[in-house]
């Protein structure tokens, strides 16, 4: 037998080659989703661990100062003196003492004296499941927001007759403007009260509607959570004139409803809205399928479904509402 005949006998036919390629393609198609699921499971675990570390930091802060950090300060004489979020105050307890030392707590977060910290990304504040697609927006990113409660006020009730929220009760969450909530103030129980949850980064543009991450501005005036829920579902999300803020999660050093704190007015992964004057319904959301991670005041973290009952979710958001917590 000649060498040429032997080589011809050992070679693959075109049909055999195509069959092999098809089998490889099928195997890759079957394997790829499994790999993606495994990667997301790892990212989800890391996200949960981040919240656990933040819970430990909050507890250590409370042990040191006697209560949880405030969400922001009152603006005095038009100057946001020391107007910094809880995320800045717990930095020493998440191995960020060096960054903490760079912050000037006598000025606001966007003051030039705080430019380094303002633009620093803190790994503990980023969920690995949420990609960063913010175009041209400066500032360190944040995915973990503190719980304000179910009041629609952005700040504390006005003390002036006719002012925003005059006569309204203050926030019923755990961390809000000028707050200093102690464990003893959480009468609903630390295992039944939310401390922090997740929120995705925004798309950075009011020229495109992204319902999952945008904060819309319907132009209406709710006075309570029920009205905010109704009005936030009663407009066209594709109407770009209703865009409010799209730069969610930036910067973490500047306290705001789009950067550092959220409300228990809508269930997880629902819409978020802002209403003039200073009334807010920012909602917890995430890239994880089906819900969000929720850090409770006892330091535990659980996954809360987007299908949770609205009244149960609101109950978890209050520290002193005497609600009976069920499955959340």
Decide if pLDDT at 82 tops 70.
Answer: no
The CA distance from 325 to 328, in Å, is 8
Which residue, among 197, 326, 325, 163, has the nearest Cα to 272 in the 3D structure?
A: 197
For residue 2, being part of any structural domain is answered with no
Q: Among 42-46, 216-220, 239-243, which stretch is predicted with the lowest mean pLDDT?
A: 42-46
For residue 140, being part of any structural domain is answered with yes
What 3-state class would DSSP assign to 292?
strand
CB atoms < 10 A from the CB of 75, how many?
13
Find the domain containing 312 and state its range.
Answer: 15-317
For residue 6, being part of any structural domain is answered with no
Give the total number of structural domains in the chain.
1
For residue 5, being part of any structural domain is answered with no
- H or E segment at 302? strand 301-305
For residue 277, being part of any structural domain is answered with yes
- Per residue in 287-324, pLDDT tens? 999 999 999 999 999 999 999 999 999 999 999 987 77
pLDDT at 80: 45
Are residues 92 and 282 in contact, defined by beta-carbon separation less than 8 angstroms? no
pLDDT at 144: 98
Decide if pLDDT at 199 tops 90.
Answer: yes
pLDDT at 9: 56
- Per residue in 139-179, pLDDT tens? 999 999 999 999 999 988 888 888 888 889 889 999 999 99
For residue 232, being part of any structural domain is answered with yes
């Amino acid at each position: 037998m000649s060498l040429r005949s032997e080589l011809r006998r050992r070679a693959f036919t075109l049909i055999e080659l195509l069959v092999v390629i098809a089998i490889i393609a099928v195997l890759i198609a079957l394997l790829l989703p499994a790999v993606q699921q495994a990667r997301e499971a790892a990212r989800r675990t890391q996200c949960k661990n981040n919240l656990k570390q933040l819970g430990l930091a909050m507890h250590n802060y409370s042990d040191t100062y006697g209560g949880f950090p405030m969400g922001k300060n009152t603006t005095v004489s038009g100057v946001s003196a020391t107007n910094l979020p809880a995320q800045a105050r717990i930095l020493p307890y998440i191995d960020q003492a060096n960054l903490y030392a760079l912050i000037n707590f006598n000025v606001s977060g966007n003051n030039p004296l705080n430019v380094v910290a303002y633009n620093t990304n803190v790994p503990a504040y980023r969920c690995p499941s949420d990609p960063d697609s913010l175009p041209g927006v400066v500032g360190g990113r944040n995915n973990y927001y503190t719980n304000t409660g179910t009041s629609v006020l952005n700040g504390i009730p006005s003390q002036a007759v006719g002012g925003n929220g005059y006569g309204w009760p203050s926030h019923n969450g755990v961390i809000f403007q000028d707050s200093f909530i102690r464990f003893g103030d959480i009468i609903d129980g630390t295992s039944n009260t939310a401390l922090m949850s997740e929120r995705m980064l925004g798309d950075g543009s009011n020229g495109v509607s992204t319902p999952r991450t945008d904060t819309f501005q319907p132009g209406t005036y709710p006075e309570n959570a029920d009205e905010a829920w109704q009005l936030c579902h009663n407009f066209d999300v594709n109407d770009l004139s209703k865009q409010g803020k799209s730069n969610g999660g930036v910067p973490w050093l500047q306290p705001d409803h789009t950067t550092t704190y959220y409300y228990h007015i809508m269930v997880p992964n629902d819409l978020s809205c802002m209403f003039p004057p200073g009334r807010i319904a920012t909602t917890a959301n995430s890239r994880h399928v089906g819900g969000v991670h929720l850090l409770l005041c006892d330091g535990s973290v659980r996954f809360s479904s987007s299908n949770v009952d609205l009244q149960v979710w609101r109950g978890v958001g209050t520290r002193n509402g005497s609600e009976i917590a069920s499955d959340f």
